[in-house]
Chain A
Amino acid sequence: MLLEIFLTLALGIIIYLFLTRKKEETLPIEEGWWGKGQKPDYEEDTTVRPFKVETTEAELNDLFRRLDQARFTEPLENSCFQYGFNSVYLRKVISYWRNQFNWKKQVEVLNKFPQFKTKIEGLDVHFVHVKPSSLPEGRSAKPLLMVHGWPGSVYEFYKIIPLLTDPASHGLSDEHIFEVICPSIPGYGFSEASHKKGFNSVSAACIFYKLMLRLGFHEFYAQGGDWGWLICTNLAQIAPNHVKGLHLNMVSVTSMRFTQLLSILLGRYFPGLFGFQDEDVRRMFPFLKKGLYRILMETGYAHIQATKPDTVGCGLNDSPVGLAAYILEKFSTWTDPEFQKLEDGGLERKYSLDDLLTNVMLYWVPGCMVSAMRFYKENIGKGIGTQKHEKLPVRVPTGVASFPNEVLHTPQSWAQQKYLNIISFNFMPRGGHFAAFEEPELLAADIQQFVGRVEKEEPWSEKGK
């Protein structure tokens, strides 16, 4: 009798191990072609060409004409930002855009960092590449890939780049100096949009992987939030030997396990049982209000973009006023949900109008709102939790900077289900979704300390480059 039990147990364990072993598969690198029409027979041009943002009088005049003829709808009395972007404040923003915002000057600001384009898998990929201006004796810069999200752009990183490439000049420790590469996701900004359907986060990760190889980097760090979070996660899944460390300012868990569900129901009362810290409880509960209600209230845009991107983006590509309202609403609500109660959406509390409008121009000038929105359909159009990569873990050393006003809070115990090697998880004292844009110092400091931890385990290998 005992023998049978023993044999059954042994068999069970063997089967279990066999099944769990299967989960070790990495995400395969896809060979895609996203250009127009058929893929040509000849080899792709792999040169990296310098690029500068330019503007013309005609472009400006067209924008001004559209701003001048804007049609607004009076808001409901006492509605602030609760029905969306308040049109009384929108008029002020448009007036500033028309009369004070200096696009030519902002273009110079954009061009102060070197930019390039290169063709990968049929698409012209745009990126910013900033090397440190000077390096101390015997030191080398660590390559850091930083990926933006929606409705952001490479411009979100313009304040944090100097803190990473030249920390000494900004009063920070120069233990780690980086050279930063910020690509525009294909379909965003000056990166060409895919002509074929199916271009999702894994496709973007494959392209960025090829980009880093092309630039001569075999080991690099990756940082991201919003779509950047997902693309960098996929990068760590397809090329774990190349991604030295993965730093995220946003984490989302897309496959809901039973334990997570249980933790939602009971986590408030037995936090320790589910690995919740006090700060987790403070941010997550009451769950109906801070979780479920927040999701419903704030994900309308994702729902429509994941189903009808061409419809919703159409008017936004034709009306700069509509585009500004749609984008800036996020910079208000995702920076602090309480901003909805303010008549001006609290927009200028954390950002300057110049910075906000420069980001909007990076959607207006290239006319990329529709292609940017299509990314939602390609990634979540079939449903959340349905894609292969969502079920695969991440083994690369991971660091998480958890900002208090992020739209949804993910506690470490949940993140650990997917990110098996979290070596740093810090609660930030302030800041929301657009971390690099809003709190560059805090984010830079966290990246620095994360890299420090990674290096302690495994010092930077010179020959890898």
Chain B
Amino acid sequence: MWQQILQSVRSFKYPWRSVILAPAALGAGGLLVCWLLSRRKIKTLEMGDGWWGSGERPPREKEDERIRSFQIETSDREIQELHQRLDQARYTPPLEGVAFQYGFNSTYLQKVVAYWRNQFDWQKQLEIVNQYPHFKTTIEGIEVHFVHVKPPGISKGQAARPLLMVHGWPGSFYEFYKIIPLLTDPAGHGLNEDVVFEVICPSIPGYGFSEAPHQRGFDTLAAARIFHKLMQRLGFQEFYVQGGDWGSRITVNMAQMLPKSVKGLHLNLVFISGGLGRLVSLLLGAYVPWLVGLTREDSRRLYPYLEKNVYELLRETGYLHIQATKPDTAGSGLNDSPMGLAAYILEKFSTWTDRSFRDMDNGGLERKFSMDDLLTNVMIYWVTSSIVPSMRFYKENLSQNPNTAPDARIGVYVPTGIAAFPQELAHCPRSWAKKLFKNIVVYSYMPRGGHFAAFEEPELLAQDIRQLVRKVEHL
């Protein structure tokens, strides 16, 4: 039959052949080009624009793009005022035998406050905080603070890879202080110096030393766009990003907005919204995990689902509910009472590090963290009065329907690395993450650690970030 067709084609007179062949060739070529182009064309998140300063945006003024050096300072007055408030703290005795089941145990809180009042040295901590260079710059009408650490020494032929690391709530840039040296100076810490970074840790606007937005609507998309502008201002066209908690949402948005700038995305927490498919996967996964792409470790972490996930989440998301609806009310007292602020923030460092800490009288706080480090993080919220704006971020982000939000349907195509820590609030198996993250190159089950990965297990996290880079760059 084929012979017959060839024969009939060959037998055509010249004009007939070209009439058929030429358009056919064009058609085939066109299809090929279309196919090639469609493979390149990834849907991206619209960047948009914003203005977060007071009042109206000045019409013609061009923004001051200078990057100014910044040092965190304190005064005797500030410390005295803090001490005076701690001295007048009013406690309520806990119920008998409840440990941390009703929240932060006030008997232990008194010990924390006593340490804070008598031993914690804020001036000394500030020296530690200032050991890395700090800067501020104005973007979209507000001052954005960031830490920028370059490698102390770099060998010939090596380039420091820029890495943007974004914190969450109730954390801060300070959470990265232990991991930064492992990333900028691996050789000095017994690690291979094939991968060296220069690290940029900004403060999310509304947190710490970044100015709080004055306008409504500042969500993770706005933060992502601002951080893109920051990196561009610093001269980086391509960089890596890392995040957990809000940092995870923000860095994911960054990858969705400008995938060509994001060389690699590393996350220690994955937010994934549900759907019918996931429900089915959940139900079946309890009996035939392999059928729905769940590994044994996934099963161990997910089931019993109701207990480990639904009840746990309900039990631990009261703060999220009130912050997403009445942030100004919830934060009001915390901005006025340092001991209230400490209880509220440190409760998370207890429970989100290990759920069993709820059964301990001291919340297991000092098992993984030093009191100095914990209180330094609290001080960042206290001295900047940023607890209320930090809570508003919840309302701005959680007010809309997650299924219709602009970033809901946009896939993430940049090479992604996911570090799944065992004590994280909610476990996300690789098979679920794949729905959003189309290019997972690293997925690691971490042996230990909870929500505050960089703070609690800097070595493990650094290792995983470096592994991602090696995979991306084929090292």
Contact = CB atoms under 8 A, between A and B. Distances in A.
B109 A314 contact: yes
Interface in A297-344: 297-301, 303-319, 321-323, 325-326, 329
Contact of B326 (A301, A367, A371, A383): A301
Contacts of A359: none
Nearest to A317: B90
Nearest to B335: A71
Nearest to A377: B102
Interface size class of B (residues with CB under 8 A): 35 or more
Contact of A62 (B88, B104, B106): B88
Contact of B328 (A85, A321, A369): A85
A367 B90 CA distance: 8
Interface string A359-391: 000000001011100100100000100000000
B422 interface: no
A315 B318 contact: no
A322 B334 contact: yes
B329 A326 contact: yes
B133 to A, nearest CB: 29
B327 interface: yes
Given A78-B216, A79-B216, A315-B344, A325 B318 contact: no
A220 B365 CA distance: 51
A435 to B, nearest CB: 23
Given A84-B328, A197-B97, A326-B329, A318 B318 contact: no
Contact of B341 (A196, A306, A315, A325): A315
A129 B85 CA distance: 39
Given A78-B216, A314-B339, A318-B340, A326 B347 contact: no
A321 B333 CA distance: 6
B320 to A, nearest CB: 8
Given A77-B216, A308-B319, A322 B332 contact: yes
B64 interface: no
A62 B331 CA distance: 22
A83 interface: yes
A304 B216 CA distance: 25
B192 interface: no
A52 B458 CA distance: 59
Contacts of A311: 103-104, 343-344, 347
Contact of B329 (A305, A314, A317, A325): A325
Contact of B332 (A77, A194, A326): A326
A335 to B, nearest CB: 16
A290 interface: no
A195 interface: yes
Interface in A114-132: none
Given A308-B319, A325-B329, A318 B339 contact: yes
Contact of A314 (B93, B327, B340): B340
Contacts of A197: 95-98, 102
A300 to B, nearest CB: 3
A196 B392 contact: no
B215 interface: yes
A329 B328 CA distance: 10
Contact of A322 (B55, B102, B333): B333
B337 A319 contact: yes
A76 to B, nearest CB: 5
Interface string B188-222: 00000000000000000000000011111000000
Given A73-B388, A306-B318, A307-B316, A319 B340 contact: yes
A71 B336 contact: yes
B88 A66 contact: yes
A270 B389 CA distance: 46
B216 A318 contact: no
Nearest to B340: A315
Nearest to B316: A307
A383 B102 CA distance: 15
Interface in B309-365: 314-319, 321-337, 339-341, 343-344, 347
Nearest to B84: A69
A325 B332 contact: yes
B329 A308 contact: no
A90 interface: yes
B105 interface: yes
Q: Which of A69, A83, A383 has the most CB of B within 10 A?
A: A83
A297 B340 contact: no
A85 B94 CA distance: 28
Contacts of B330: 84, 300, 304, 312, 326
A310 B92 contact: yes
Name the residue among A84, A85, A304 with the largest chain B CB count within 10 angstroms.
Answer: A84
B145 interface: no
Contacts of A84: 325-330, 332
A38 B85 CA distance: 35
A191 interface: no
A296 interface: yes
Nearest to B102: A310
A72 B385 CA distance: 8
A87 interface: yes
A90 B9 CA distance: 88
B103 A312 contact: yes
A263 interface: no
B343 A314 contact: yes
A423 interface: no
Contacts of A329: 326, 329
B218 to A, nearest CB: 9
B395 interface: yes
A164 B344 CA distance: 44
B234 interface: no
Contacts of B392: 76, 83
A70 interface: yes
Given A197-B95, A308-B347, A374-B102, A316 B321 contact: no
B408 interface: no
Given A73-B385, A310-B102, A310-B104, A305 B344 contact: no
Contacts of A32: none
A371 to B, nearest CB: 6
A70 B337 CA distance: 9
A271 interface: no
Interface in B91-122: 91-98, 102-106, 109
Given A322-B333, A367-B92, 14 more contacts: A73-B331, A76-B214, A77-B215, A300-B318, A301-B326, A303-B322, A314-B104, A315-B344, A318-B336, A319-B336, A322-B334, A322-B337, A369-B92, A377-B102
12 contacts: A69-B81, A70-B336, A77-B215, A77-B216, A86-B328, A300-B323, A306-B318, A308-B319, A314-B109, A317-B90, A318-B90, A325-B332
The 6 closest A-B pairs by CB, nearest first: A322-B333, A315-B340, A304-B318, A84-B329, A311-B103, A300-B322
Interface of B: 54-55, 81, 85, 88-98, 102-106, 109, 212-216, 314-319, 321-337, 339-341, 343-344, 347, 385, 387-389, 392, 395
